[in-house]
Amino acid sequence: MRDYIQYSHVGILFIAIFLLFVYGGIQLDKKTNLQPLFTILGVLLGFVMACYKLIKETEVKKK
């Protein structure tokens, strides 16, 4: 039970970071008329950054 409470915020943080990058990509596409380019970059960058944060959060908690 203690581990569950300790890691409960990590999933929400992962989704929030990912959605923030996707939203930013969609907004940039609307402004520049380069429809799929920034959305795809937002998805890729969001996933990478969310995974990075996930790894960093779990490393800190293990120590």
Identify the pLDDT of residue 11.
86
> Distance between CA atoms of 60 and 2, rounded to whole angstroms?
16
Give the pLDDT confidence of 15-55 residue by residue, as tens digits: 999 999 999 999 999 999 888 999 999 999 999 999 999 89
Identify the pLDDT of residue 5.
73
Identify the pLDDT of residue 14.
92
Q: What is the pTM of this model?
A: 0.81
Identify the pLDDT of residue 63.
53
Q: Do 26 and 42 contact (CB within 8 A), yes or no?
A: yes
Identify the pLDDT of residue 62.
56
